[in-house]
Structure 1
């Protein structure tokens, strides 16, 4: 057993000499086997080990289990760090299951210790049977190739040194070395899907279909993991080509380039985008299909809302994935001439009077015939039913149609400034167009000049027309 785990650690490069490793120890058979195996290997391979235990306060035995782990560590001369968290209350506050709340609490504590102790890795006791359960769990939920990888030997700071060992092997090791452990009766609670897979589905598959099902599922995970790594390198090239922008709140991807890819590549890129914006956990095949189903639909106003608060919008030539879709503030500001207007997004417009001799259309400024305007003016958001008559267009058209023609992204439309009279006649969309009722002509004498400040920050930079 020790030699097999040592070889696996070396093959997967999980621990190097001089590393400090935190062993996650619940007191159950798996984690006690991990603790003893790592203790023996640490002396032989030259790395350091400490233990971490979390008391979830979910069962009467929790205090006894914490005491058992601490005493075991004292006997082995291993430093032990324990923490008590009311997981039931945490689940209530976060509106999540006890299982999820417990997992979040554990890994938050482990990562806190990782930073505090300047450790190199957190070792958990996941084994071959856990791997088989995870592959089946992902299959039942509807997964792609990445889900069939199951539990990874290494996931950033998390390592699983026992992943190739069966539960039977671990129990035999404990018995052979007379190592005590605790039994968590909640592992028998078949209200949890994973426990039903463990106690019902896998025994059924072993007895009626294949006695080696656990080993075969574990081997499948290894094969898929290697092939996935190869495919991921290809996908990273596509990602570099197609992602136009990315920040902490979301990303935008080139739509036409995305649509030209094979279906398999589109699916994998979608998972990559969802993971980049909303974290890798919890995404399912149906989430990917919902995104792909959105893309052929006409228009740019459709917004798909998925779990974790992630929203997706197909906006002309872009696919937008975001975790922070904020509707723009509505504004309606009376204009003082001369004067300046600052919009909610920080855009600044200055208004002043000039004459025909000072018109410079190359500067991107807006010029209107002041004598044609009905004062006072307002700079406002769009209104339902707005119509405009852009210069050069014979009739009127709805503002919505104009936005469609100009391919203004849906989420930007409420940020476009509309210069109008108080009665609703639109004179200009500064930065986009001037309307015929206010256009400068040969008879114009007094000119209203609108200059947009150079430090604009609303992300929309179109020259006037």
Structure 2
């Protein structure tokens, strides 16, 4: 196996020999074999072990084993202990999801701190088949049926072409020792049910079942590549880039064949997995939206607006003290006393500083906010102003206002308030400007 493994690394990860590798090391069969192979072949590898404190003494014995084994090989090891159950309760996550979040967050921090180039995990062909079947049972699309990728950003999976049987056989030949996780025998988890009951019967009913699956996966990958080629051709026809994200033309989208499938494939990379919710937004009223863990898709008249999720800070003030010349959070704002008016535009206003009450406040707008738009005599609700300006929900959420004693001085980037304007009686002028 070691020769096949070396050949695979040379072909698939040609730069790995010159990289610093962090390996996720549980102490189980798969990660023990991967660590041993990389060590025997002279790769620059270190191990990282997570003690999730979920199996009492068994978890501590795993930690002792990985320490001892790495010391035997002369490999550096990093160990972190987590209170997984408490984290899961606080975050309202399942124990499995909480462990995954803790694990990969720590791995990223460790890689950054110690300058590792890649993270290696010990997923193999049987894991890939399990993932395929799990996604299949959930009603996934083509992308989900591709299974586990060999490379995902800085994560690599060097054992993916090899079966568990091959890994176990090599471990026995090398007389390796490893730890068995008792939770792997529990049928409480879907993956374990597949591993213990479903997949053995599939292999029994058809010889070389795993090899057939690998062939199917290759065909699916090629089909997905074809889809992505098509997406690249139509991308510029229906999508335009905005300062805050992307805009998808619904009319142009509907002119293309397979509209629903096209939209789903366009949005899948942004974490949208609920097929029905994505399709329903096409015919929804303006203002409706769906969210993924990282992005939001907003219906805005004849288009869909895709932006990153916005963290709302409706009640937080970013204060500007008297005589303070600039701030850089949340915006770059400069305040300059001057003797004369200059050019006023969307990024620059001039106000009569005698009307200002410090400290000034930069905050998000709130329902009920009113101001007197420059050049007008009466007040206007911001919500009505936004409607007149035809601002999308995303644009409204990205907007900031400058206030003085709870009075709006400037809807930043849009309109100044008439109550603070410079007049013939003004004795002190303040120039307020935002910049990149």
Q: In the superposition, relative to structure 1, how do residues 315 and 30 fare at CA in structure 2: closer, same or farther (>3 Å)?
A: same
- The within-5 A match list for 1:206-245 is 206-207=203-204, 209-245=205-241
The 2-side partners of 1:329 and 1:225 are apart by 45
Q: From 275, 294, 300, give the equivalent of 2:269.
A: 275
The answer on whether the counterparts of 2:277 and 2:290 sit within 8 Å (CA) in structure 1 is no
- The within-5 A match list for 1:242-257 is 242-246=238-242, 250-257=245-252
Matched, 1:295 2:282: yes
Q: In the alignment, which residue of structure 2 is the partner of 1:161?
A: 158
The 2-side partners of 1:7 and 1:33 are apart by 16
Q: In the superposition, relative to structure 1, how do residues 72 and 262 fare at CA in structure 2: closer, same or farther (>3 Å)?
A: same
RMSD of aligned Cα (Å) = 3.7
Shift of 1:39: 0.8
The answer on whether the counterparts of 1:381 and 1:414 sit within 8 Å (CA) in structure 2 is no
- The within-5 A match list for 1:112-123 is 112-123=109-120
Shift of 1:186: 0.8
The answer on whether the counterparts of 1:122 and 1:158 sit within 8 Å (CA) in structure 2 is yes
Matched, 1:68 2:78: no
The answer on whether the counterparts of 1:14 and 1:154 sit within 8 Å (CA) in structure 2 is no
Q: In the alignment, which residue of structure 1 is the partner of 2:5?
A: 5
- The within-5 A match list for 1:165-176 is 165-176=162-173
Q: Secondary structure at the match of 1:194?
A: helix
Q: In the superposition, relative to structure 1, how do residues 97 and 3 fare at CA in structure 2: closer, same or farther (>3 Å)?
A: same
Query: Can you list the C-alpha shifts for 1:182-216, whole angstroms capped at 9, x where unaligned?
Result: 00011112111111111122123233x42333332
Q: Secondary structure at the match of 2:21?
A: strand
Shift of 1:257: 2.0
The answer on whether the counterparts of 1:251 and 1:273 sit within 8 Å (CA) in structure 2 is no
Shift of 1:223: 2.6
Unpaired stretches in structure 2, ≥5 consecutive residues: 316-351, 400-413, 416-430
Q: In the alignment, which residue of structure 2 is the partner of 1:355?
A: none
How many correspondences in the alignment?
Answer: 362
Please give the TM-score of this superposition, normalised by the length of structure 2: 0.72
The 2-side partners of 1:414 and 1:83 are apart by 39
Shift of 1:33: 0.6
Please give the TM-score of this superposition, normalised by the length of structure 1: 0.68
In terms of mean alpha carbon deviation, does 131-140 or 113-122 score higher? 113-122
The 2-side partners of 1:177 and 1:327 are apart by 56
Q: Secondary structure at the match of 1:23?
A: strand
Shift of 1:231: 2.6
The 1-side partners of 2:2 and 2:314 are apart by 63
The 2-side partners of 1:7 and 1:244 are apart by 44
Q: In the superposition, relative to structure 1, how do residues 454 and 234 fare at CA in structure 2: closer, same or farther (>3 Å)?
A: farther
Matched, 1:320 2:305: yes
Unpaired stretches in structure 1, ≥5 consecutive residues: 331-336, 352-365, 369-375, 387-398, 417-430, 433-452, 458-465
Q: In the superposition, relative to structure 1, how do residues 72 and 172 fare at CA in structure 2: closer, same or farther (>3 Å)?
A: same
Q: Secondary structure at the match of 2:48?
A: strand
Shift of 1:83: 1.1
Q: In the alignment, which residue of structure 1 is the partner of 2:338?
A: none
Matched, 1:23 2:23: yes
Larger Rg: 1
The answer on whether the counterparts of 2:46 and 2:77 sit within 8 Å (CA) in structure 1 is yes
Shift of 1:317: 2.3
